[in-house]
Amino acid sequence: MSGFGKKKPKHRPKTMAVETKAYGIQFKSKLEAYMYTKLRKLKIPCDYEKITFTIMPGFTASIAPWQTRGKGKRFTPRAPKIRPITYTPDFTAKDESWIIEVKGRKFDTFRLKWKLFLRYLRANDKNPEVFMPTNRKECDQVANYLKEIYHGT
């Protein structure tokens, strides 16, 4: 009877982010909500997903790759419009002096965007402190570090 029934997926993430609401804000994960709660309790002002960086502007390709189009599936050259690549960090200081990206699992798309984002910061002479906590303990460490900066304790 092999071959019958549901097949197991070859690759399934061990954990999936669970959207969570806190303080009237819809967070994409429980870890983001935890980080925000921690910053709020320590009276560290921040914005959640407020600033979007364009790390590569959009353009129209000068090379027209051959692609199928329409109902007849004709194979024709087409110069595609390439959308910009943007990046929105989870938390930013009001003055953009620091950025926090809370990240549990890092998928390939994120890794590429993260590298492009760091390159963008360097190329544009932006020098914020950048943090990437991946669990509650690291969120606590980041928050306590920022508390020292804001409150000197």
Regarding predicted confidence, which is higher, 43 or 2? 43
Q: Is pLDDT of 113 > 80?
A: yes
3 falls within a domain: no
81 inside domain: no
Query: Would residue 113 count as lying in a domain?
Result: yes
Q: Is the Cβ–Cβ distance between 32 and 88 less than 8 Å?
A: no
Residue 146 lies in domain: 20-52+88-151
Q: Per the domain annotation, does 67 fall within a domain? A: no
Three-state secondary-structure class, residue 107: coil
CATH number at 120 reads: 3.40.960.10
As a whole number, the mean pLDDT across the chain is: 87
| Residue 13 banded pLDDT, cuts 50, 70, 90 | low
Judged against a pLDDT cut of 60, whether residue 8 lies above it is answered with: no
Confidence of residue 128 (pLDDT cuts 50, 70, 90): very high
Q: What is the mean pLDDT of residues 94-121?
A: 92
5 in any annotated domain = no
| Alpha-carbon distances of 137 from 41, 102, 132, 133, 134, rounded to whole Å | 16, 12, 12, 8, 8
Q: Could you tell me the pTM of the whole model?
A: 0.78
- pLDDT at residue 26 tops 80: yes
Task: Quote the pLDDT of residue 11.
Answer: 59
Residue 73 lies in a domain: no
- The angle, 0 to 180 degrees and rounded to 10, between the axes of the packed helices 30-41 and 136-151 is 30
Structure tokens given for 30: 């429980």
What pLDDT, on a 0 to 100 scale, did the predictor assign at position 15?
59
| pLDDT at residue 60 greater than cutoff 80 | yes
Answer yes or no: is 83 within a domain: no
Domain count for the chain, please give it: 1
Q: Is residue 1 part of a domain?
A: no
